Chain A
Amino acid sequence: MTAFTALLARDMRIAIRVGGGALMGALFFLIVVTMMPFAVGPDLNLLARIGPAILWLGALLASLLALDRLFATDHEDGSLDLLMMGRMPLELAIAGKGLAHWLTTGLPLVVISPVLGLMLNVELKALGAVALTLAAGTPALTFIGLIGAALSVALRRGGLLLAVLVLPLTIPVLIFGVAAANAAILGGAAFGPPFTILCALSLASLVIGPFAAAAALRFGLE
């Protein structure tokens, strides 16, 4: 087993064991989306119109939920020191941790989004499109979040700081995610352009996130 797959397997295993945060994001997502019709009323047309925005906001908040502990737990138990002493570049190790986090937190959001879409009166044929936008966009949320997680690693109440740091950076993802989802549901605008930009944001954050997070960790642990 290579160092990368070992780290990936270990982080996923910790996430799905007792005390891990694997399904917390999905449950939070479920609750946020369930409460929304109670807040805005049972007007089906209104729900259908704001449905994609609700799904995307819910996914955004849910994907940040467990992120603040990503490096903090490794920092507290000394694992981070050893992760830095491996033969694998720290950037790659961070990418592995980010991937494990997305597989256990982001992917469940994508999988349950069609069910939640039904609750918001999203048309059947558009459910797949919304899930597709989430699948393309949630990696960006995780990998942008890595930067905030690395910056807030040594702080005790890092969770709040993480949200303050990361949420503004995710605005482009939100804009193009909702635009693509709306195009799929309401028609009128083309689905392709916003979706391609969403994919581009994800790919760019896959590259920038680990490098920025590694720089932040190295600087912060001095």
Chain B
Amino acid sequence: MQLSAENLTCERGGRTVFSGLSFTVAGGEALTITGRNGAGKSSLLRMLAGLVRVADGRLVLSGGEAEATIAEQAHYLGHQDALKSSLSVRENLAFWTAYLGGAAEAVPAALEAVGLAPLASLPAAYLSAGQRRRLSIARLVAVRRPIWLLDEPTSALDVQSQDRLAGLMQTHLAGGGIIVAATHGPIGLAAPRELRLGQ
């Protein structure tokens, strides 16, 4: 499996954020996107997730499902956690698992993987920022999708949770998955390739 971008151009609000961007990520590889604020890290991830229009250039995924778009084979972990306060931890995860096409049996194990199993019946309104982050990470574990698009995945996480996330990412890479992560610092992966925006 290989995800490649050729001469990507991104325009937001009439301004060109970046242009002529090309890169390739193969299965089992991680790519970190760095750069100053406003360089287009989040825009690039949202473009890969199909949430921002590709102004010019193209994105190609080879070796994936031919019928599905890149967005349908990707997980997007953005700045917002996509959780509903009035639903419990378990209900939140069970919904996204069912919606994104996973099996209901995967929910308890995924909660266990992010250390939220003891809080499963608690309404999400009572979670801390780090716990909310972990709950949205659980979505990545519960539903198998080969591409992970992570926007500053370690924000709000404590050291133990960062280690846990690093472990989950390594497992994903070992299974042939792709990770594209926007970050300002190390995210706990051994040797990620780096794409520096805004130069």
Contacts and interface: CB of A to CB of B under 8 A. Distances in A.
A6 B51 contact: no
B60 interface: no
A79 B82 contact: yes
- In this complex, the member of B79, B95, B101 whose beta carbon has the largest number of chain A beta carbons within 10 angstroms is B95
Contacts of B87: 10, 13-14, 17
A41 to B, nearest CB: 43
Interface residues of A, number: 28
A1 interface: yes
A6 B78 CA distance: 22
Contacts of A221: 51
Interface residues of B, number: 30
Interface in B74-125: 74, 76, 78-87, 91, 94-96, 98-101, 104
A19 B86 contact: yes
B174 interface: no
Contacts of B49: 81, 85
A77 B98 CA distance: 19
Contacts of B84: 10, 14, 77, 79
Nearest to B97: A6
A2 B91 contact: no
Contacts of A14: 84, 86-87
Interface in A111-166: none
A18 to B, nearest CB: 6
A87 B101 contact: yes
B100 A20 contact: no
Nearest to B104: A1
A107 interface: no
A14 B99 CA distance: 16
Given A85-B71, A85-B74, A87-B68, 7 more contacts: A3-B101, A14-B87, A17-B87, A77-B83, A81-B76, A81-B80, A85-B50
Interface of A: 1-3, 5-7, 9-10, 13-14, 17-20, 76-79, 81-88, 221-222
Query: A-B pairs with the 9 shortest C-beta distances?
Result: A78-B80, A6-B98, A17-B86, A78-B82, A79-B82, A10-B95, A1-B98, A3-B99, A85-B71
